[in-house]
Amino acid sequence: METNKRSARYYIPYVRHCIRFFFSNQELHYFDNPVSENDWTSVRDTYQDLDKTVQEAIRLIYQEGIDDFHIADLANTLKVPANLLWVTLNKFEHAIAVRRGLIPCKNSSKPETEK
């Protein structure tokens, strides 16, 4: 079962690449190719759908790094459970993958995001 879970989340490294690209180029208005533009736009649109508090948490997660130590430290700083940050991060990455067309949306044409 663990193997299926890993293979079902094949899109995560690519989505994380897209998110890092977005955060390092938030004011970007010119793109070298349509793929980069689609990646950046998918992250921007999904990010803008989030509540401001969630946006800040996501930004901090990607600024500090995605690992148990940084998530636990950020959870302690924000005074929220670390599991909540992991769930939020997973939903955000999933919503980007849906919006980018890497995986199908299960129940609607619009991805689910935190509000």
Residue 30 CA to residue 56 CA, distance in Å, equals 25
pTM for the model stands at 0.80
pLDDT for 20-35, tens place per residue? Answer: 999 988 887 788 899 9
- Whole-number Å distance between alpha carbons of 102 and 18: 12
pLDDT digits (tens, 9 = 90+) for 44-59: 999 999 999 899 999 9
How many angstroms separate the first and last alpha carbons of the chain?
31
Residue 67 vs residue 7, higher pLDDT: 67
The three-point CA angle 48-18-12 to 5° equals 105
